[in-house]
Amino acid sequence: MKINRRSALAGIALQARAQSSPPVERPRPGVMSAFWEPLDRQMIDWLAPAKSAHVLDAGCGRGDHVRLFAERCRVTGVDLKPELLDYVQGALAATRFSGNATLRQADIAKLPFKDATFDLVWSSHVFHGLRNIAAAARELKRVLRPGGRFALRENRVLSALLPADLGFGVAGLEARADLAFTKWLTEDRAARGRYPHLWGQILRDAGVRDVQAKSFLHEANQPFSDIQREYLRYHLARKREWDLTEADKQTLHEITDPASPRYVLNRPDLYYVSVSTIYLGIA
């Protein structure tokens, strides 16, 4: 995966700026999906679509949510990128629920569906990257039946893994990396038009009512599983790609190098927490 360009498979966290450090090794296929699956299940359990419901996953990416919705009801996944839809098709074929899922290549801003087609619209980590977010929100509301639910997932709080003081380097490394990421993300958004609101507002502006935010925790404690270890190493290593000092990048390099005495994933005190927020309203 190349750095410095938008990548659908990788999600927002991979939309990084290439710095001087070597490219960060990506986790093996399936590791990201497996790492996030407990959180994905929590969110989908909370949304609890009825067995008779028809869900739209708008910007379905590698299809982790299409796969989970398909276990419970009918789901249509749309994405701009045909190669992603091919990947999702392959992942679905390995399940017992592929018959519940339909995939369509389409632009969220111009969907090939009649008004009031869906009971639940789910769009996860897509809106921050759209050019015309207001038009996309109106289009998604159009395809929702009156009384249907619009669930928009966008990050509100960043994750945490490291202690503030690692015992070497300059204390506060993770906070500096978060700041660099937030700055990049905000500037990236602003390049398509600034959005000086929290994400629930885009639903209200589209005429969605009773909008509430609900957040979910994803936690990993030591001893980490192999999947967690692989993902968390990548999670830390990719911070080298943000706008940090060379000293901070060197620290990140050391703490993510399994051959280094400073390899951080062996620390028994390590604990990862991530917060995921859904803005939910009624059409």
The answer to whether 257 contacts ligand SAM (rule: CB under 6 A) is no
Q: Name which of 78 and 211 has its Cβ closer to ligand SAM.
A: 78
**The one among 70, 73, 126, 173 contacting ligand SAM by CB under 6 A:** 126
Structure tokens at 176: 């500096």
- Residue of 1, 18, 48, 80 interacting with ligand SAM (CB under 6 A): 80
124 contributes a contact to ligand SAM by CB under 6 A: yes
Q: Whole-angstrom Cα distance, residue 87 to residue 104?
A: 13
- Window 81-100: residues binding ligand SAM (CB under 6 A): 81, 84
Q: How far is the CB of 282 from ligand SAM (least distance, A)?
A: 21
Residue 107 in contact with ligand SAM, rule: CB under 6 A: yes
Region near ligand SAM per CB under 6 A, out of 93-101, 125-133, 164-172, 221-229: 125-133
Token pair recorded at residue 66: 């299409």
Please report the sign of the dihedral spanned by the C-alpha atoms of residue 23, residue 24, residue 27, residue 33.
negative
Judged by DSSP in three states, 203 sits in helix
**Backbone dihedral angles phi then psi of residue 100, each to the nearest 5 degrees:** -85, -10
Which one of 55, 103, 108, 162 is in contact with ligand SAM (CB under 6 A)? Answer: 108
Q: Tell me if residue 167 falls in helix, strand or coil.
A: coil
Sign of CA dihedral 198, 199, 203, 209: negative
Main-chain dihedrals φ then ψ at residue 209, nearest 5 degrees: -110, 170
Distance CA 177, CA 25 (A): 18
91 or 162: CB nearest ligand SAM: 91
119: contact with ligand SAM by CB under 6 A? no
Among 16, 60, 75, 255, binds ligand SAM (CB under 6 A): 60
Q: Which residues, numbered 191-220, are part of the site for ligand SAM (CB under 6 A)?
A: none
Residue type, 276: S
Shortest Cβ 187–ligand SAM spacing (Å): 17
- Could you give the CA distance from residue 96 to residue 178 in angstroms, rounded to a whole number? 40
Q: At what angle do helices 173-190 and 246-255 cross, to 10 degrees?
A: 110
Q: Does 139 bind ligand SAM (CB under 6 A)?
A: no
Per CB under 6 A, 157 contacts ligand SAM: no
Sites of contact with ligand SAM (CB under 6 A): 8, 11-12, 59-61, 64, 78-81, 84, 107-109, 124-126, 129-130
